[in-house]
Amino acid sequence: MRHVGRLWFGVSAGALLALPAAAAGQVVGGVVVEQVSLAPARGAVVTMFRADTGSGELAAAAVTTADEWGAFVVGLPGPGAYRAQADAGGLTSPLSKPLEVAAGDTVLDVALVVPSRLLAMAYACEGDSESASAVVVGHVRDPATEVVLPSARVTASWRDGDVLRWGDAEADAAGRYRICGVAPGAGAVRLRAELLGRQGPWEEVSVQGPSVLFHDIGLGIRTRAAAGPQDVIRDRIQMEAAARGLGDLSGQLQDQLSGRPMPYAIVRVEGTSHQALADAEGRFIFEGIQPGAYALEIYNLGATVRSEPVEVPPGQNVFVGLRVAPQVVALEGLVVTTRSAVEQITRLTPFRKDVLYGEPMALEEYRGSRAYEILGRISPGLSIREVTRALGPTWICVESNRRVFRLVDAPSCEQVEVILDGIRNPDGALVLRSLPASEIESIEFLPAVQAQQMYGTFGNTANGAVVIWTRGRGPYVSPLRNRR
C-alpha cells in the first residue's frame, strides 16, 4: 500500500496542475485499487454523486477516469455533500463515506476499493457450493516482461484420495484463468500453461481445505538464449500469425434525439478490460480485439447504456455508429472491413521502398543489430556515419541522397525525421543508435516526397523519414504484448 500511496501523491500533484480553472474551486482526488492485490485500478471510471439534502438521493455530478497509477482528480460543480464510487471492468466499489466539500476545498485522500475480478471468477464456479471444494485463480504471465498472456491454456492435476484428477481452463483476454472443483484434501495442485506450442514448467500451489487460492503461472514467450536463428524466426512468425487474427473495433457516439456527437463519454467493451474515452467528436477505437461478439457499455455522467453485441470477425476491423438514448443504444452504419494485418501495415506506410520485417528482421535480431545498422543494409541510398560530440553520447547521422534540398557547407548533419510508433521523436538519432532489433517489429525508410505527404513538411521530413514500429505497438503488434 505504501507503493500505491507514494505514486498517488506524485501523480495527483501533476493532475491538479492540469485542472481547468473553472474546476479548481472544489477538487476531490484519491486512488482506486483492486481488492486483493491492492494494485492500481488503471482506467477505472470514478463518479462523484451529490447527495440531495432533502431526500438523500444521489445524483451524478462529475465523472473522470483513473490514470495508470489508479489516481484521479476531479473538479466539482459547487460546494456540498458528495460521495464517490469507482467502476473497473464492470465491478463497482462501495460508495465512499460522505464528503462535505466547502467552497475552494481540495480533498485528496479518497480511497476506493473495487472488488477483485479473480474473486468474482472464483465465486462464479458452478456446482461447488455443496461440495466445499477449492478454487485456483490467477494470471498467466511472461516472467521476463510481466505481460499477461491471453488465450493461454492452463492444465491442472491433483489427488482426490487415490484418484488423479485433471482440470483445464483457457485464460481470458486479460490473461486470467480459473480451475474449479479442486478436492480440499488434495494437498497440492500442479499447474502448467501452454501457448503457441510452448509449454511452461509444472508449478505447485498448496491446498489447505476449501479456499480460494491465488497463483500466477509463468510462461516464457521469448527465447532469451536462442540456439540459433531458426529459434528467433519461429518466435516472430508465431507472434505475427497470432496478430493477424486481431481486429479493431471503432465507432462514433451520437445523441439519438439531436444527432449531435456525444463527446467525452466512456466506452467499455463488456467482459474485457478494454476501455476508451470518446474524443470531442464522439469517436473511439479499440485496437487489437480478439475475435468474438461484444456489447459496448457507454458511461455518461453516471448513466450507463448498453448496445447489442457487435461481431468482430478474425483479422477484420469493425466500425459502428451508436445512437445513444437514456435507455437504449441503437446500432447504425455497421461497416466490416476485410483488411488483414499485412494490409494494415501497408495502409499505414503505403510507399514501401526500404522496409524490413518478419523473417529478415528475425535474422537481424539474431545478429544483435541496432536500428542504424539495419538501415544501412536495407537502404543503400542512405549515408550513415557517427558524429562525435564534445558533450553527450555519439550522434548517429543519417542522410539521404534523395533529400529535397542540401545546405551548403552544412556544419553537422542534414538529419532525416525519425517516426517511432507513429510519433515524431526529437531524439531520433539517439534512438537509431540504441534501439536493438529485438525490440523492432518493422523498420523502413521513406524518401522525402513520400515522407512529407505522410508526416507534413515541417521538421526533417524534407530529407526523408525512418519509420519504426516497436514490438510493443504498431500494426504488427502481437496479442501477447502490452494489451489493455
- Domain 118-218 matching CATH 3.40.50.300: the answer reads no
Q: In whole angstroms, what is the distance from residue 282 CA to residue 251 CA?
A: 8
Q: In whole angstroms, what is the distance from residue 42 CA to residue 481 CA?
A: 17
- The arrangement of secondary structure in 342-470, i.e. its CATH architecture, is Beta Complex (2.170)
Domain spans of the chain, in order of start:
2-115, 118-218, 247-339, 342-470
Q: Number of C-alpha atoms within 13 angstroms, CB side, residue 204? A: 8
Q: How many helices (H) and strands (E) does the chain have?
A: 8, 34
* pLDDT at residue 464 in the model: 83
* pLDDT at residue 245 in the model: 63
Q: Quote the crossing angle between the two packed helices 229-243 and 359-367, to the nearest 10°.
A: 140
- Long-range CB contacts for residues 287-293, cutoff 8 Å, separation at least 24: 287/246, 287/248, 288/243, 288/246, 288/248, 288/477, 288/479, 288/483, 289/246, 289/247, 289/248, 289/249, 290/150, 290/151, 290/173, 290/245, 290/246, 290/479, 291/245, 291/246, 291/247, 291/315
* pLDDT at residue 73 in the model: 92
Name the residue with cell 482506467: 43
Q: In whole angstroms, what is the distance from residue 178 CA to residue 174 CA?
A: 12
Name the residue with cell 456525444: 262
CATH code reported for the domain at 247-339: 2.60.40.1120
247-339 and 342-470, same CATH topology: no
Question: What averages of pLDDT result for each successive group of 10 residues across the chain (484 residues)?
Answer: 31 38 69 86 88 75 87 90 87 89 89 88 69 85 76 89 89 85 88 82 89 88 54 60 68 84 86 80 82 85 78 80 75 55 41 60 80 84 74 70 48 76 81 83 81 79 84 51 35
- The arrangement of secondary structure in 2-115, i.e. its CATH architecture, is Sandwich (2.60)
- Name the phi and psi angles at 358, rounded to 5: 65, -135
* pLDDT at residue 473 in the model: 55
* pLDDT at residue 390 in the model: 63
